[in-house]
Structure 1
């Protein structure tokens, strides 16, 4: 591993980018958080990095002069359609239910920096100290008293962007998003729209509108809450606050140790081989690539920690809701799913690599198949807020992102940047989640999984993954 440079990132400037043109007066200025949003109220922000290679990029002065104005204009034009991302949320849960509030003049903070680290190394698959990546991510700024009710004693931005220039190498776009604002599907909708506007006109009004395939839907009326989950979640959050419990995003989920981030690839060939193992060892007629990749990662993490670890994942609820929620709805719409295991089942199979992977993948696939039962995803919904805290405190394995988001293809910026060379969810350092995406390598197929672990656990996991590749060869 390359040593961490003394000053890897130098901030050149910060500017505020407002939606342009400003959203019409008929657009709602406040969006109440639904029960879906409140499930993620106090989890750490979602932080992604997009690495774009460009060896012709001479340096920061050239970027500031020629490219930065184009990024600012295309971002402003995109925020015209996604203006709640320029809004504010209260910092704490108070008597009034939290809302995303947008006021004319609100903006997104755009940080521009220059990096002195090795671009190719940062954008690799191998294990890298996450300290080298943190400087590429923007913070969510907090603001003083908003002058309104008690909940506005402190407000915070919900979205921020950073552009880091690496001379003669490329740029990195870093984003930080408050998870209570939206899920990965809505985030991908925003990023896809920004990339399309950047490609086709850099903010020219008519051409920018033509680039938007589907406008986001902000109508909270499409979310039905017949079971009163919103009030249950509000009550749970207030109870935790009254008891003096820290928010999950304020806890040191990484344990204060040196953490490394690495990417592990599950090609189509490897997934087909894993599928045959599951079919030969169990009664399962098939097992999805998602379950196979997650099962292998789960088994490897348990091997690295030397103990059983719980597993949970999220599932999209737009088609599962009654009535279904439109696909362009902007916000969170995810259900939390716990994978149940028989007592001692996982421990009994840790002696054999393939048996451990098979058991893990099968358990995940059983949980996924169970979601076909109408209403199953909402059966334990009243405990979602407690489940988030329980899994965080236990360092359970969860999942962030999805191959279905297609972020590599969606974020093609056109000339001179093209598609990102690498996409990372760096916030898994804090959440312990698996960062899933489609493979970014042309023709490779399959799934890539980002994983952050303490250094010793990472070494053990890499040995497990190497043994898996040998077995599949």
Structure 2
């Protein structure tokens, strides 16, 4: 793969500024960056590289620069560590830039953009690293956003993004991508029709002093050399790690919902059904059904903008997520009781005022406990609408496939709405060691049959 990098600059009003991190942001301070891939396979995008550089790249750069003018903290920098008596914040100045890398790949585009297991080592070259900046041997700061465009000659285009998790959650990221794509599709007038991002940190109330508490937590953990977040990093495990996508169609979710209700009486949301089935499948893949002790653990995030008092505006840019925990007996975990357990926590969020923030003081240290226990977590959400957000217009259109490849470092489920017209449902991306992936695929393949007990008993009788 050959690459070239350029700094994409966009001036903004004013000479410099700072955007403090809130307690919501600090939860994700030392999480791995979020990395997504957008695959576009329109035939007229698959032209020769010189043609792409001449026709398409200038338009893409112009629309990106215009979008960054409105989302200017994304062109800023974060300190590499939280220092004593220094407020952690994004610093930006007039003329800041985002690194845009252009690459050419000879890999098989069709194979990379499909659902079946692919070696994650083939996907990593499509992702840009976040540039770091230092003085001599010390790293002082790092960029917030980096973008890479990879051309597959006569096949398609892949856009890879890497964003620091402490700066934006999925909702804010989708807001940026949607604005960028709309400008590319419709021109600068598209900004008029889009709600601008809100960077005012005063809308985040912190009466409990969580921000200062989280800063102390991070400083104490760093001083102690705490590395428990590495417990999620699959790259530290031996063997080949593969990434695959599993589709929970509307029809499959309806059948699963009826099964869960009959088994547990819980009437679950599609989100809880897909997450529950995937959680149970991962526990099975890890050999959890043979483990007679201990609870299986699951974690997900919930949007806190409407759950605070007063509510935070929907266009607020930054993190605004609460951490939720679920536990269930490992040896008895099934798709049905896993989904019901997740749904019970979700229901509690809507029925109990303030529950989303009830245990907030434990979030920073609790995340490390969950990582050490290898809890299954969630990245992304079908509500983000990333397929629709990333519609760049002709000749790009909507992406054929969107992947959150960074789940290789967090062990999370990568959730998105279905990208296939008419299919509906939820896509679940998953990174696992190859042997565990084989077990999970068998679990997923047999899931429809397991939802029909009579058919399943018949199959067992023949085996």
Q: What TM-score, normalized by structure 1, do the two folds share?
A: 0.90
Q: Secondary structure at the match of 1:102?
A: strand
Secondary structure, in 3 states, of the residue corresponding to 2:172?
Answer: helix
Paired with 2:422 and 2:264, the residues of 1 have a C-alpha distance of 31
Aligned to 1:282: 264
* Map 1:147-296 → 2, pairs under 5 A: 154-201=140-187, 205=188, 207-210=189-192, 212-246=193-227, 248=229, 252-257=233-238, 258-284=240-266, 286-296=267-277
Provide the C-alpha distance between the structure 1 equivalents of 2:330 and 2:156, rounded to a whole number of angstroms: 44
Query: 1:49 deviation in Å?
Result: 0.1
1:25 paired with 2:32, answer no
Which residue of structure 2 aligns with residue 318 of structure 1?
Answer: 305
Q: Distance in 1 between matches of 2:430 and 2:279?
A: 11
Contact 2:230 2:371 in 1 (8 A): no
SS at match of 1:135: helix
CA distance in 2, matches of 1:248, 1:324: 31
Aligned counterpart, 2:115: 125
* Alpha carbons of structure 1 residues 251 and 452: separation in structure 2 relative to 1, 3 Å: closer
Deviates more, 1:108-117 or 1:306-315: 306-315
Counterpart of 2:336 in structure 1 is 358
Q: Distance in 1 between matches of 2:397 and 2:167?
A: 28
Contact kept in structure 2, 1:54 and 1:168, CA below 8 Å: no
1:375-394 pair list within 5 angstroms: 375-394=354-373
- Which whole-Å CA distance do the structure 1 matches of 2:161 and 2:102 have between them? 12
1:63 match: secondary structure: helix
Spell out, residue by residue over 1:38-83, the C-alpha distance to the aligned partner (whole angstroms, 9 max, x if none): 0000000000000001223222111111111111100000000000
Q: Secondary structure at the match of 1:311?
A: strand
Q: Residues of 1 paired with 2:255 and 2:430: CA distance?
A: 22
Map 1:6-45; keep pairs closer than 5 Å.
9-11=1-3, 13-19=4-10, 22-25=11-14, 29-45=17-33
Corresponding residue number in structure 2 for 1:3 = none
C-alpha distance in 2, partners of 1:162/1:255? 25
* Residue 36 of structure 2 is aligned to residue 48 of structure 1: yes
The 5 A counterparts of 1:454-469 are 454-469=433-448
C-alpha distance in 2 between matches for 1:14 and 1:176:
15
Residue 471 (structure 1) shift: 3.2
Asked if structure 2 preserves the Cα contact closer than 8 Å seen for 1:43 and 1:249, the reply is: no
Contact kept, 8 Å, 1:293 with 1:447, in 2: the verdict is yes
Aligned-pair CA distance for 1:278: 1.2
Name whichever structure is richer in helix by fraction.
2
Indicate the larger mover: 97-106 or 171-180.
Answer: 97-106
- Deviation for aligned residue 1:243: 1.1
Deviation at 1:10, TM superposition (A): 1.7
Change (3 A) 1:250 1:16: farther
Quick one: distance in 2 between partners of 1:369 and 1:296? 18
CA contact (8 A) 1:195 1:411 kept: yes
Residue 407 (str. 1) matches residue 393 (str. 2): no
Partner of 1:438: 417
Task: Give the distance between the partners of 1:16 and 1:256, measured in 2 at CA.
Answer: 35
Give the Cα–Cα distance (whole angstroms) in 1 for the partners of residues 270 and 133 of structure 2.
44
Q: CA deviation at 1:174?
A: 0.0
Using the TM superposition, give the Cα deviation of residue 124 of structure 1 relative to its aligned residue in structure 2, in angstroms.
Answer: 0.3
Residues 123 and 460 from structure 1, CA distance in 2 versus in 1: closer, same or farther, beyond 3 angstroms?
same
TM-score in terms of structure 2 length: 0.92
- Gaps in structure 1 of 5+ consecutive residues: 1-8, 147-151, 351-355
Contact 1:77 1:208 in 2 (8 A): no
User: Please, what is the CA RMSD of the aligned residues?
Assistant: 1.7
- Partner of residue 79, structure 1: 68
Gaps (5+ residues) in structure 2? 289-294, 453-463
CA distance in 1, matches of 2:99, 2:183: 19
Residue 73 of structure 2 aligns to a residue in which SS? Answer: helix
Q: Distance in 2 between matches of 1:322 and 1:65?
A: 51
SS at match of 1:296: helix
Distance 2:330 2:225 in 1: 35
Judge which range, 399-408 or 239-248, deviates more. Answer: 239-248
- Cα distance, 1:362 vs. partner? 0.3
Whether the aligned pair in 2 keeps the contact of 1:42 and 1:247 (CA below 8 Å) is: no
* 1:102 correspondence with 2:109: no
How far apart, CA to CA, are the structure 1 residues paired with 2:135 and 2:209? 31
**Number of residue pairs matched by the alignment:** 441
Q: How does 1:333-352 map to 2 (within 5 A)?
A: 333-341=320-328, 345-347=329-331, 349-350=332-333
